[in-house]
Amino acid sequence: MRCPYCAERDSRVVDSREVESTIRRRRECPSCGQRFTTYERAVALTFSVVKKDGRREDYDRAKLERGIRAACFKRPIPADEVDALISGVETELIQLGKAEMSSQFIGELVMARLRERDEVAYVRFASVYREFRDADHIVEEIASLRAWKRRAVEARNQLSFRFEEDQPCWS
């Protein structure tokens, strides 16, 4: 691995850790002594994305990452959480094992994860993904977000009861 500081071709691995579906390596340059981090990821995603207009493109992680990072710009979401979100979406897509995925499906996966993490990032992503034409669309999306949030809170506050056949009756 080439050193980003002095361009020396040889570097020594100081530490390796597995993070999600990537390997994070801390390296040290023997020439200048600087340390730097590299990430290794297996490229196993070979599927096409079917766009709204019917066009097909090869899946591009960088494109997905740009959209998510733009939505999370100036939000209190650490970079490693954004990477984990992207890796989680990719993992789910890989597990489906399909040769083609619709851009709508991928967008819905991202929005579901952003909705749980950060409401502002969710609305930003949704505004581009759903092509909001005016403020009314944004207000409708925020209203649906509030309704989703209310249902999620109610579901968490519900007591769950289980009935089992071998449980004695208390009559």
Same domain, 18 and 47: no
Residue 169 belongs to some domain of the structure: no
Task: Tell me, yes or no, if the pTM score tops 0.85.
Answer: no
d(CA 98, CA 111): 21
Same-domain status, 30 and 95: no
17: number of CA atoms within 13 Å, CB side?
A: 5
57 and 2 part of one domain = no
User: Does residue 143 lie in a domain region?
Assistant: no
> Are 38 and 59 members of one domain?
no
Find the helix or strand (DSSP H, E) in which 100 lies.
strand 100-102
Split into its structural domains, the chain has a count of: 2
- In a domain? residue 21: yes
Are residue 33 and residue 80 in the same domain, yes or no? Answer: no
Same domain, 70 and 126: yes
Question: pLDDT tens across 126-159, in order?
Answer: 999 988 989 999 999 999 999 999 998 888 887 6
Is 103 part of a structural domain of the chain?
yes
- 171 is a domain residue: no
Structure tokens at 102: 């619709």
* Cα–Cα dist 114/145, whole Å: 11
State the pLDDT confidence band at 21, using cuts at 50, 70 and 90.
confident
What range defines the domain where residue 112 resides?
43-132
Q: CB atoms < 10 A from the CB of 76, how many?
A: 9
